[in-house]
Chains A and B, each alone.
Chain A
Amino acid sequence: MSLDLLGYGAFFLATALSFGIICLGLNIQWGQTGLFNVGVAGFVAIGAYTSALLTTPETADRFGGFELPMAIGWAGAALVAGLVSLAIGALTLRLRADYLAITTFGIAVTIQLLALNLQSITGGPFGIGFIPRPFASVQENALLFNLLNLALVLAVVIVLYLALERLLRSPWGRVLRAIREDETAALSLGKNARAYRLQAFALGGAIMGLAGAIQGHYIGFIAPDNYLSALTFQVWAMLIVGGAGNNRGALLGAILVWGLWSASGALIAALFPPDQQARAAALQIAMIGIMLAVILLLRPRGLIGERRTVSRYVD
């Protein structure tokens, strides 16, 4: 029993941390640079599908299955998601802030549509199965399998966290926040605001793509339904609850909101009869929506918000 619980704990935490990686990507875009991306699910989907196509064994009824090593799949996921972000950013970052929101919303809808209908590439509504799972050789031992995967996700999170914290304190990170706070002042200091924004947007998109690949490989199966706007919305709630602009806040928010999500899911499963559960599941999303609105109104900086100074030389 206690071993089951430990196994579930590892599974829960590994999933929550994989959401945390998406939050770290969004934190560069929104938290540091103030870019509003409503298409998070789309970028995660790009990563998941890219890595799945690169690493699955060859399949007769769809394109690809290149059976490449998982590391190449992950790298490819980050690269493709980053390139798509770069293209979207180049198109919209010169316009009003809302246009980025509308365009990213559009790209997420379109990517979901492509995943659903380009059957010969994405497997259509049934998705792609048999994605190689890390540590698949110990898959029979659920506890060990989940613990090892947790360790892997945790390692990625730690590496990303340290790298991003360093970036946040670097001159590059300071320019991002300068542009966010006062673009005119940053421009007058000779900083190319558009280029910096574009870099931040692409980097955030690449991290989301990596997270998509990690999730896909951990579960071993992906389908278009995983990448609906509800995913975007969950990730936003995580970042805002935890504290936008703070990488620790992003991770904390991911664990808290995913915990709340899982607990309310279990509660609904226990309270409602089976035929009413799909209907009651809608309440979960409504709850998150109301929570997001309340946080925005009452505590916009989140639980642990952005720190005023990040340099260790300034008090």
Chain B
Amino acid sequence: MNPQFLADGLLMGAMIGLGAIGVTLTYSILRFANFAHGEFVTWGAYGTLAIIGLIGFAYGGDISEIAPFSFGWPLIIAGLIAALLTGLMALALDRLLFSRLRAKGTAIIMVMASFGASMALRSLCEFFFTSQPRYFSRDIQMAIEILPGMRMTPDQMFMIGLTAVLVTAMHLLMTRTTLGRSMRAVSENPALAGVVGIDVDSIVRATWLIGGALAAAAGVMSGIVVQIRPFMGFDLLLPLFAAAILGGIGSVPGAVIGGLIVGLAEALAVPLIGANFRAAVAFALLIAVLLIRPTGIFGVRE
């Protein structure tokens, strides 16, 4: 077996893992499966693209790339701004839609509303940016052999490194800070968390901001190593859910490990069943988890 699949799977898994953190947090803290999460990925990528355009327009002239990568400082700045904007978009969606439904009670209505929001957001994206695929850079990068038979481009290595930094930061946030502890308390029991003086509303806001920003990061990564299209987030939705459930709902390390498993399984499956059936891998994994261990790797039985 060609060890190259490890590199491809790792990269795909890193993207899925980043997105799945947001899914697992909204699922455990707000208690519903958010079908609009994929659109945060898409809007993060398109937002970055648009801001790069603005920077290029304001700065004029040619901005050189940071060797050995295919992108320059505008992408980094734009990515940061877009992550913030995507977080704010998630927050706005909550204010307009989810918070009102939450007040009325039933969680399943929120799932339905998120499904509607997902269709609306993606269609608006398609309207504004057309369905033509876009790219951050059209340059072709040389892949470097990092291990015998395993090649990666500098961009891809940067992405893996960035994911490692973000995931570690998230893990520290959840385990070492007051915010993280409060988030876990609300996910355990919102009423009880309120009783001990945790401001549940601000925890909900923090959850949306963090989830949206991480989704945007996944979108930018996907845009750099693959391409940007309106369906990119929607197509990622099933792997995201599979990763979150596989890792155990509510667990940040679980979401990342789940993402890596889904990514590696997809990469492994491509030579076996063909690239056409790649998207079915996440579904097969999901069914397997539901059959064998519905609580996932790190999940606890309710």
A residues engaging B (CB < 8 A)?
34, 36, 38, 91-92, 95-99, 101-103, 105-107, 109-110, 113-114, 116-117, 229-230, 233, 236-237, 240, 278-280, 282-286, 288-290, 292-293, 296-297, 300
Contact = CB atoms under 8 A, between A and B. Distances in A.
Interface of B is mostly: helix
B59 interface: no
A34 B109 CA distance: 10
Given A106-B283, A293-B113, A117 B33 contact: no
Contacts of A296: 101, 109, 112-113, 116
A285 B276 contact: no
A99 B107 contact: no
B115 A236 contact: yes
10 contacts: A36-B112, A97-B108, A98-B108, A101-B111, A102-B245, A113-B279, A230-B119, A240-B112, A290-B116, A290-B120
Nearest to B290: A91
A229 B235 CA distance: 11
A99 B294 contact: yes
B231 to A, nearest CB: 10
A1 B6 CA distance: 65
Contacts of B130: 279
B31 to A, nearest CB: 9
Contacts of A237: 116
A233 B115 contact: yes
Contacts of A285: 119-120, 122-123
Nearest to A95: B294
Contacts of A236: 112, 115-116
Contacts of B291: 91
Nearest to A240: B112
Interface string B274-296: 10110110110011001100100
Contacts of A288: 116, 119-120
B117 interface: yes
Contacts of B90: none
Given A36-B108, A117-B277, A103 B287 contact: yes
Q: Which of B108, B237, B242 has the most CB of A within 10 A?
A: B108
Looking at chain A's contact residues, the main secondary structure is helix
B277 A91 contact: no
Given A105-B237, A282-B126, A113 B277 contact: yes
A233 B116 contact: yes
Interface string B224-240: 00000010001001100
Interface string B129-162: 0110000000000000000000000000000000
B126 to A, nearest CB: 4
B119 A233 contact: yes
B35 A105 contact: yes
A69 B227 CA distance: 47
Interface residues of B, number: 48
Contact of A110 (B33, B108, B279): B279
B172 to A, nearest CB: 29
A109 B101 contact: no
B101 A297 contact: yes
B236 to A, nearest CB: 11
Interface in B86-131: 97, 100-101, 104, 107-109, 111-113, 115-124, 126-127, 130-131
A95 B289 CA distance: 12
A101 B238 contact: no
B107 A97 contact: yes
Given A102-B245, A106-B238, A230-B119, 4 more contacts: A91-B291, A99-B245, A279-B127, A290-B116
B290 A92 contact: yes
A114 B234 CA distance: 18
Given A103-B290, A106-B283, A117-B277, A286 B120 contact: yes
Interface in B1-43: 27, 32-33, 35
A110 B279 CA distance: 7
A106 B240 CA distance: 11
